[in-house]
Amino acid sequence: MFIRGKCVSGAKDARCLLCGELLGEAACLIGICPSCVRKRPEESREHIERLHAQSREMFGLPTRPPANPEGIDCKLCFHRCRPGRNQKGYCGVRHGTESSMRIDGRSRALVSFYRDPLPTNCVADWVCAGGTGAGYPRFSNDCGPEVGFYNLAVSLEACNLNCLYCQNWSFRKAHLAPRWTGIETLEKEVDDATSCICFFGGDPGPQLPYAVRLSQAVRKKNPGRILRICWETNGALHPSGLKAMMKLAVKSGGCVKIDLKAWDPSTYRALCGFENSKILDNFARAAEWASKRLSPPALVASTALIPGFIDEEEIYGLASFIARINPDIPYALLAFAPQFLMDGSPTTSAAQARACLKAAKLAGLTRVRIGNEHLLS
């Protein structure tokens, strides 16, 4: 299925392995049409699992969460990996040794970073303090966009999902030749012009202890001034870790942006390697914690509109779920940029984006927008 790291099943005349129908460009990589993914999950499971395994082998990452009965239990996410001494956890951060479990992703991390001038193209820029001035003067330096200030963008280079369309997939290269960074290195990057720190990835979850320690350290060194802590996450972490994220965001004026990738569990498994029930449970928990601070909003949801897979039916399901919790939670529908193993997919069409926007509003949400509109075809 892969030749030199590229999928070669994406021919224009490719057909679904189950029903024989012609596949759209986005579905060619998976080899099974979106309808069969949803309606025939057991029949498609083996093929999809093999595809995900191959996509990870290219970077020396485990194909499944290890469950070594003699391994050490990692509790940072819902995989509950038990890697043996010579095994990595699914995220690839730590080995099954006492020293690795104590240090890796905690006092040192696989990380890269840069300064991002505000206002920036963030998932939450349309509602956050840095992009709009919401929460001024307590949480923002200006009553409008914070021009002249910076976001310290911190990419934590590990993930506990396996999205075939990952927008930041190059973080996986860090696992081929790991280079660790201590907390002190990033502490020095925070200056008087830094008004927020955003942790993304990959995903913050596998190295959350490092990010929490860094956040606490820089806020302690910068008392009495605005220094927001924000997160972009897939939500697939232990509830205690999510609570730590929310606590820092709520207190500092930042936010937690959770990417709800699909509503149908089989679609989620096909695209990301796992089902989504625990992620949805976590979103509901986050919404409860976010209710302690309404402005600027402490919780934002987003979904990438992948042609053929994430349509108005998927968005209506997700939006209805969010609306039942709180219809005022901001929801960003993101135009899809073909990346990683789905780089042969088309971008989101303007018609698809409009249909999904309408579906989200019909489901009862009051704050919905289309993001990355420049990508729409």
Say yes or no: 161 and 97 in one domain: no
3-state secondary structure of 106: coil
Average pLDDT rounded to a whole number, residues 293-298: 95
DSSP letter string over 267-303?
HHHHHHSS--HHHHHHHHHHHHHHTT-TTTTSEEEEE
Is 60 exceeded by the pLDDT of residue 1? no
Angle of the 265-272 helix axis to the 41-57 helix axis, nearest 10: 20
Does one domain contain both 127 and 208? yes
The enclosing domain of 181 has a CATH number of 3.20.20.70
Distance CA 81, CA 97 (A): 13
182 and 311 share a domain?
Answer: yes
DSSP of 121-142: --TTTTTSHHHH-TTTTTS-SS
Q: What is the tens place of the pLDDT at every residue in 132-145?
A: 999 999 999 999 99
Task: Find the mean pLDDT for residues 91-103.
Answer: 96
Name the average pLDDT for the chain. 94
Q: Is the domain of 126 the same as that of 100?
A: no
How much of the chain exceeds pLDDT 90, in percent?
A: 92
User: How many structural domains is the chain composed of?
Assistant: 3
pLDDT of residue 28: 84
Do 45 and 130 lie in one domain? The reply is: no
Domain that holds residue 82: 64-104
Say if residue 78 is in the same domain as residue 45. no
Q: Same domain, yes or no, for 322 and 349?
A: yes
Q: Are 201 and 157 in contact (CB under 8 A)?
A: yes
CB 367 within 8 A of CB 331: yes
The sign one gets for the Cα dihedral 161, 165, 171, 175 is positive
pLDDT per position as a tens digit, 308-358: 999 999 999 999 999 999 999 999 999 999 999 998 889 999 999 999 999
Contacts of residue 128, Cβ cutoff 8 Å, sequence gap at least 6: 122, 134, 230, 254, 255, 296, 297, 300
How far apart are the C-alpha atoms of 188 and 144, rounded to whole Å?
A: 28
Specify the pLDDT at position 29: 83
Task: Pick 344 or 26 by higher pLDDT.
Answer: 344
121 and 91, same domain (yes or no): no
**pLDDT recorded at residue 11:** 55
Same domain, yes or no: 112 and 254:
yes
Structure tokens at 360: 């989200």
CA distances from 308 to 144, 190, 268 (A): 38, 42, 13
Average pLDDT estimate for 74-94: 96
Q: Give the DSSP per-residue string, 11-74.
A: -TT-B-TTT-PBPPTTTTTTSS-HHHHHH-HHHHHHHHHHHHHHHHHTTT--SS--B-TTSPPP
Looking at the fold, whether 352 and 364 belong to one and the same domain comes out as yes
Read out DSSP for 144-211? S--TT-EEEEEEE---SS--TT-TTGGGGGGGTS--EEEHHHHHTT--TTEEEEEEEES-SGGGHHHH
Q: Of 48, 77, 104, which residue constitutes the final position of a domain?
A: 104
Whether residue 99 sits in one domain with residue 175: no
Whether 130 and 196 map to the same domain: the answer is yes
Buried b (16+ CB within 10 A) or exposed e, 337-361: ebbbbbeebebbeeebbebbbebbb
- Single out the residue of 78, 113, 76 nearest to residue 93, CA to CA: 76
pLDDT tens by residue, 163-188 = 999 999 999 999 999 999 999 999 99
Structure confidence at residue 6 (pLDDT): 42
